[in-house]
Homo-oligomer: A and B are copies of this chain.
Amino acid sequence: MRIRDLMGQMPLFHGLQEQHLEELTDIVVDQTLGRGQTIFSGGDEASGFYVVVSGKVKVFMLSPDGKEQILHIFGPGEAFGEVPMFAGGHFPASAETLEKSRIFFFPRRDFLALLHKDPSLAVNMLATLSRMLRQLTRLIENLSLKEVPSRLAAYLIFLSDRDKTPEEVELDIAKGQLASLLGTIPETLSRILNKMSSQGLIEVQGRRIRLLDRQTLAEMSEGGKFLF
């Protein structure tokens, strides 16, 4: 598929003038990375931002002693690494592929020029950043105000809603990565999955999780402290 058409499908570039889309295709850098490749590291000088074409990219931070907190996992059509474009010059977090991924890179200079020319591009970008702010707000809410079981319940409900599979979900990331996304460690996640199973809330078979009591899971995810 042509680069031009791929970009036309990305929300970030919706409603752009044809001429500007063409200009973008001229400045974009197309790259394909294997699984587990580093795209940038926290603190790195930034010279542009990225969009996922295919695959999955995690954006995360590391504590001094190595614990990882995933901020977000980006899939096809989603942009990441925009913050240094507009504030400061370095990345506040790190990015790495979770699987073989195709990535578009947009150099800062050229992109900023285009931003000033096409207001819809700027407004799209504002929408993108706002969604990320909302997202991070939720993450903070979860980390600070809820316990791990609530976060897990919320994630399961979220997955089942997203994939429209009310009674069963399939994790699209490894359990260890899920732990990091939920702000905990694999051991704790494992124990909680176990506990939920023995309480008849779920049934775990590898990455497939059956939601036996969606009702209770939904209540837990609201944050109320229940039986644990």
Contact = CB atoms under 8 A, between A and B. Distances in A.
Instruction: Give the interface size class of chain A.
Output: 35 or more
> Mostly helix, strand, loop or mixed at chain A's interface?
helix
B83 A130 contact: yes
A206 interface: no
Interface string A102-144: 0000000000000111011011011101111110111111011
A145 B67 contact: yes
A175 interface: no
A22 to B, nearest CB: 20
Contacts of A122: 115, 119, 122-123, 126
A62 interface: yes
The residue among A84, A92, A127 with the most chain B CB atoms within 10 A of its own CB is: A92
Given A140-B143, A145-B63, A145-B69, A133 B83 contact: yes
